[in-house]
């Protein structure tokens, strides 16, 4: 297995030298500055690849191995195969990536909002901070800040009353914070920042699109792009929904083993794979991550390894340290190592420590939410230790 690290580009707080110091060898990155829907050029990809892979004298080289992500425009999610211009632009970006020898592309199919958190600096018992999804605060936003039409019907009376109490105790700053966290696109998001009125309009545009229809649109997208990926030796990896359940009345269709099985059955190409994100999938107690790693092993080309800790009735959760949440990371890694050993050289599973708590010196710095250096360094060290114990030293 190959050690990856997400890097947000030349202006990111974490430098490429710090990636090397963490012990990672493979970079996970994207052209975050390119507007969603505009085709990447081979020149743009090649310039970023040169920046990543040209090591200063005497320093170990890095390899750009995963593009995370090429964003899928909203029109594709709403219209499926009818969004031909947007799909063609996405294929052009894929071809630019393939021409530069980058073998894995990660993407997601979450409508309107990408990964969602209500708090970015929830204080844990150790004094470190973590990102959190608080169901009551989310409901307060949905019902009383966004004031989504028809939202009351999706919550119990008790949920509505609890959300009302939470909302009435929120300060103006807390309202501004949760609005920014949910609507303004967190780092790495593949959706556009939105104002509250724009958010309502986006939701209205999805009226009538249920899970079956959204899944069909994803299948139509995959039917169009997978042949291009297969012909160029690129593996596509679908990231799970985060959280893995419907939000704002919108369907989500990459949340369970059945969801992935349906997509693999519909588009059986080996290029149609998954990003195995243990943190996202682990939010659901009914997801058996060890079984999923075993069942979908040949489809796993990229792994996000992190842990989440469910709270209360399981609807709230926070990002735990990598070995301290609800994910049995040792058992998951045993399955991934077993799969990795079956593969030909150069087809190793690339993994990265996903997210990380904010701790030590990072508490005094400006950091990319979810991606502080020290918390991820701790996570990578712990994951590396497990791999060594399993007799599978990472490279």
Q: Which residues are the active-site residues?
A: 239, 277, 304, 354-355, 371
Between CA 292 and CA 300 the distance in angstroms is 10
Between CA 108 and CA 386 the distance in angstroms is 28
Query: What's the Rg (C-alpha) of the chain?
Result: 20
Length of the chain: 395
Q: Which residues contact 23 (CB under 8 A, 6 or more apart)?
A: 3, 380, 381, 384
Between CA 390 and CA 387 the distance in angstroms is 5
Taking CA atoms, 188 is separated from 9, 73, 137, 248, 354, in Å, by: 11, 15, 23, 21, 12
Between CA 355 and CA 374 the distance in angstroms is 11
b/e burial code for range 278-289 (CB count within 10 A of at least 16 → b): bbbbbbbeebeb
Beta strands 129-133 and 26-29: pairing type? Answer: unpaired
Residue 297, burial from CB neighbour count under 10 angstroms (0-12, 13-18, 19+): middle
Pick from 300, 243, 232, 282: nearest CA to 114: 243
Between CA 308 and CA 76 the distance in angstroms is 30
DSSP H helical segments within 54-195, as ranges? 74-79, 84-99, 135-140, 157-168, 172-183
The pair of three-digit structure tokens given for residue 318, joined into one six-digit string:
């926070």
Q: Which helix (H) or strand (E) holds 334?
A: helix 329-340
Phi, psi dihedrals of residue 391, rounded to the nearest 5°: 75, 25
| Dihedral over alpha carbons 9, 69, 341, 19 (to 10 degrees) | 10
């Amino acid at each position: 297995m190959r050690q990856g690290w997400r890097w947000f580009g030349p202006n990111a707080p974490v430098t490429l030298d710090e990636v090397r110091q963490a012990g990672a060898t493979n970079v996970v990155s994207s052209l975050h500055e390119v507007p969603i829907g505009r085709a990447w050029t081979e020149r743009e990809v090649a310039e970023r690849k040169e920046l990543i892979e040209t090591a200063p004298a005497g320093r170990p080289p890095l390899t750009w191995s995963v593009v995370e992500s090429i964003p899928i425009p909203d029109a594709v999610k709403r219209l499926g195969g009818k969004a031909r211009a947007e799909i063609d632009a996405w294929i052009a970006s894929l071809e630019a990536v393939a021409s530069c020898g980058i073998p894995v592309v990660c993407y997601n199919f979450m409508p309107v909002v990408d990964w969602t958190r209500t708090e970015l600096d929830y204080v844990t018992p150790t004094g470190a901070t973590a990102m959190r999804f608080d169901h009551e605060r989310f409901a307060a936003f949905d019902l009383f800040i966004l004031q989504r039409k028809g939202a009351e019907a999706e919550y119990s009376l008790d949920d509505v009353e609890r959300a009302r109490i939470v909302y009435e105790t929120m300060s103006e700053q807390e309202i501004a914070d949760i609005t920014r966290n949910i609507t303004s696109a967190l780092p790495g998001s593949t959706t556009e920042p939105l104002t509250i009125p724009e958010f309502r309009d986006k939701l209205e545009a999805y009226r009538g699109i249920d899970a079956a229809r959204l899944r069909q649109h994803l299948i139509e997208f995959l039917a169009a792009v997978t042949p291009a990926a297969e012909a160029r030796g690129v593996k596509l990896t679908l990231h799970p929904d985060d959280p893995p359940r419907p939000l704002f009345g919108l369907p989500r269709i990459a949340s369970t083993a059945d969801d992935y099985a349906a997509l693999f059955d519909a588009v059986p190409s080996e290029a149609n794979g998954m990003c195995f994100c243990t943190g996202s999938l682990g939010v659901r107690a009914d997801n058996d991550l060890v079984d999923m790693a075993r069942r979908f092993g040949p489809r796993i080309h990229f792994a996000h390894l992190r842990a989440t800790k469910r709270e209360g009735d399981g609807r709230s959760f926070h990002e735990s340290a990598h070995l301290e949440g609800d994910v049995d990371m040792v058992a998951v890694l045993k399955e991934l190592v077993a799969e990795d050993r079956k593969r030909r050289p150069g087809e190793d599973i690339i993994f990265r420590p996903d997210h990380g708590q904010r701790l030590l010196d990072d508490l005094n710095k400006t950091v990319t939410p979810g991606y502080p250096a020290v918390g991820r360094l701790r996570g990578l060290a712990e994951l590396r230790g497990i791999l060594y114990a399993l007799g599978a030293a990472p490279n």
